[in-house]
Chain A
Amino acid sequence: MIRVVLFRLGTGVITLLLASFLVYFVVQALPGDVAEQLLGQNATPEAVAALRAQLDLDTNVWLRFVQWLGGAATGDFGTSLVSGEPVAGALWGAFGRTLLIAVPAILLGVGLSVLLGLRAGARRGTGTDSGISVLALVAMSIPEFVIATLLVLVFAILVPVFPAVVLEGADATVGTLLSAAVLPCATLVISMSAYIIRAMRSATIDTLATEYATTAELKGVPRGQVLRRHVLPNALLPVLPVVSINVAWLLGGVVVVETVFNYPGLGKLMIDSVSTRDLPMLQAITLLSALVYVISNLLADLVALAVDPRQRALESRRRRPRAQAAEGSPA
């Protein structure tokens, strides 16, 4: 078990390194540099040169990458080329605020969709099932920027219960963020749940068709108990990768939602950093998102190990990875 975690962490580190290298490589190829981007229409050659010198942009880029990497290993992500402030502060702040919408969205979204999916699967073919399935289908067919726009229109403008945007940006207190987080969170829940509901429904149907579910029923176990004790844990297994993909997506790129709500999170920071070519910031964001990706995959693995005793045995006996379980997974 510990070996598994260590092995996963090892490959995770490789993934992180590769990912930040890829991004660095691409950002190098971007037209224009941070000085030009910042100055825009004011970009007279003299101003650009002055800013460039001020930002120390003329040292070797690869040297900067290596230095950056060294720093990152010790938790120092360098200073932002744009604000001149340490990257770490802005990064963790934005990440924390993204967590504020992402964590409730994940808990609510996963919990709710697992229940709905289980219900739809258990009542396959009934009105409940069709209702849930159609809702899920519609939710996954509407782009999230549309969902967000409609939510703002209804709940911030027509019936002003929640704020339409976050005004204070990075200075916002947790108190103001709490009410501002409701609509972004709802958008995320809606657009994420659809996929989990569908996965859960289909896993439930499959699990109900297994021989052990039938056996439990033929043992005289009441239906509800069959679902809870025999079906749910096993149906959850194939859904876990779907959940982990969604979690990684959610934490890594809630760009659209944060743009619409002017929410000062990681996604907004990312968009801003791309447009200003703030390389150290982008590198740090990439690293953090990749870390979230790796960790959420790892967590899904661990949950799978916890839910499925078979995998525990598999893992400790052979080094054959849980290939099969993961392969069917998305993305």
Chain B
Amino acid sequence: MTRLRDRALLRDLTPSSRVGLLMVAATIAVTVLGPFLVPYDPVATNADNALAGASGAHWLGTDQYGRDILARTVAGGRYALLVSLCATAASVLIGTVLGTLAASSGRWVDAGVTRVLDAVLAVPSVLALLLVVSVFGNQLWVLVLAVSIVYAPAVARVVRGAARPVMTSGYVTSARARGERTIAIVVREVLPNILDTIFVEFAMRASWVILLVSTLSFLGFGVSPPAPDWGLMIQENRSALTVAPAGTLAPIVALSVLVVGVNLAADGLAKYLGVDRARRGVAR
């Protein structure tokens, strides 16, 4: 149970999760360093060199505006990664607060919080996202907010589920017998014991958020063109899949590598921390 602390994480991970971590690390490294490696500006157009095939100069060719596809693919993960990171962090944070609040409060507060969360969950997530984005526009913080609204209730439910058995455990009971305040109990006794659940939740949500953000871009509610973004690139280029396949396939491959990587890593983390991830199903 205390494994995070007393063993070297990397050594104990399964080979597949090591591959996963590697994939994530590689994606992040390429995304961050990529612009220094690829000598083209991802948004610079070049009318003379539109829709060029793969060549020594443009390894993956160019798109209809003559932009280098490799440069765009390499830079295209930045936004997805940033939004996913922020949005996942925000939803896990909000979800944890709500979940522990519900678990540590009396029946009525618990029931109230649960109902409201359920109501938010009952609204189709795409609808919720579209509404929020339509109201506030598609700036980064809005997307983060929108994704958090959709995912925080789900996280809260999981956290509540993890926190409830802890609330009845001997050490919480004994803290209560000492007359400690609820906040102190949550922070000192409960949180450390659901951290593994929260970590896994974070890793798992991250993979969904990446998919969700790309779906939003695809539906035209995400990143604004001409910014490079995988979802947007797929959307922009998909109808030309047969004449300029690289423009669509490169972002698909990049996106899938990242998501597969996050999934593998999350699986490994879950196994390592003893939280069952596959059971969690999906909330999109």
Using known A-B contacts A27-B131, A137-B263, A141-B207, determine if residue A290 contacts B122 with beta carbons closer than 8 Å.
yes
Give the chain A neighbours of B214 by CB distance below 8 A: 143
Determine how close the nearest CB of chain A comes to the CB of B173; give it in whole angstroms: 18
Interface of B (DSSP majority class)? helix
A-B contact count (CB 8 A): 189
- Is residue B64 contacting chain A, with contact meaning CB distance below 8 A? no
Determine how close the nearest CB of chain A comes to the CB of B254; give it in whole angstroms: 11
Contact A137 B260 (CB under 8 A): yes
Give the chain A neighbours of B278 by CB distance below 8 A: 198-199, 201-203
A interface footprint on B124-152 (CB within 8 Å = 1, 0 otherwise)? 11110011101100000000000000000
Contact A289 B252 (CB under 8 A): no
Closest to A11 in B: B115
- Is residue B234 contacting chain A, with contact meaning CB distance below 8 A? yes
Give the chain B neighbours of A29 by CB distance below 8 A: 135
Among A30, A143, A256, the one with the most B-chain Cβ atoms within 10 Å of its Cβ is: A143
Residues 184-215 (chain B) with a chain A CB within 8 angstroms: 207, 211, 214-215
Which residue in A17, A202, A256, A327 is a CB contact (below 8 Å) of B219?
A256
- Is residue B78 contacting chain A, with contact meaning CB distance below 8 A? no
Determine how close the nearest CB of chain B comes to the CB of A1; give it in whole angstroms: 22
Using known A-B contacts A30-B135, A145-B234, A256-B215, determine if residue A294 contacts B282 with beta carbons closer than 8 Å.
no
Binds A, one of B35-43, B50-58, B68-76, B154-162: B154-162
A interface footprint on B266-284 (CB within 8 Å = 1, 0 otherwise)? 0000000000111111111
Please report the total number of A residues contacting B with Cβ < 8 Å. Answer: 67
Binds B, one of A55-63, A89-97, A176-184, A240-248: A240-248
Which residue in A238, A253, A259, A330 is a CB contact (below 8 Å) of B282?
A330
Give the chain B neighbours of A137 by CB distance below 8 A: 260, 263-264
Give CA–CA (A252, B127) in the complex, Å. Answer: 9
- Is residue B116 contacting chain A, with contact meaning CB distance below 8 A? yes
Contact A330 B264 (CB under 8 A): no
Closest to B234 in A: A146
Contact B279 A242 (CB under 8 A): yes
Give the chain B neighbours of A327 by CB distance below 8 A: 157-158, 160-162, 164
Give the chain B neighbours of A143 by CB distance below 8 A: 211, 214-215, 218, 231, 234, 255
Give the chain A neighbours of B244 by CB distance below 8 A: none
- Is residue A149 contacting chain B, with contact meaning CB distance below 8 A? yes
Using known A-B contacts A202-B279, A327-B158, determine if residue A16 contacts B215 with beta carbons closer than 8 Å.
no
B interface footprint on A1-30 (CB within 8 Å = 1, 0 otherwise)? 000000000010011111101110011011
Using known A-B contacts A137-B263, A259-B219, determine if residue A142 contacts B252 with beta carbons closer than 8 Å.
yes
Determine how close the nearest CB of chain B comes to the CB of A248; give it in whole angstroms: 8
Which residue in A153, A249, A289 is a CB contact (below 8 Å) of B283?
A249
Give CA–CA (A202, B270) in the complex, Å. Answer: 12
Determine how close the nearest CB of chain A comes to the CB of B157; give it in whole angstroms: 7
- Is residue B121 contacting chain A, with contact meaning CB distance below 8 A? yes
Closest to A238 in B: B279
Give the chain B neighbours of A243 by CB distance below 8 A: 281
Determine how close the nearest CB of chain B comes to the CB of A210; give it in whole angstroms: 14
Contact A23 B127 (CB under 8 A): yes
- Is residue A66 contacting chain B, with contact meaning CB distance below 8 A? no
B interface footprint on A273-295 (CB within 8 Å = 1, 0 otherwise)? 01000000010011001100110
Give the chain B neighbours of A31 by CB distance below 8 A: 134-135
Among A17, A259, A330, the one with the most B-chain Cβ atoms within 10 Å of its Cβ is: A330
7 A-B residue pairs with CB within 8 Å:
A23-B131, A27-B131, A140-B259, A202-B278, A267-B126, A289-B122, A330-B282
Q: A residues engaging B (CB < 8 A)?
A: 11, 14-19, 21-23, 26-27, 29-31, 137-138, 140-146, 149, 153, 195-196, 198-199, 201-203, 206, 238-239, 241-243, 245-246, 248-249, 252-253, 255-256, 259, 267, 270-271, 274, 282, 285-286, 289-290, 293-294, 323-324, 326-331
Closest 3 CB pairs of A and B: A327-B161, A331-B283, A242-B281
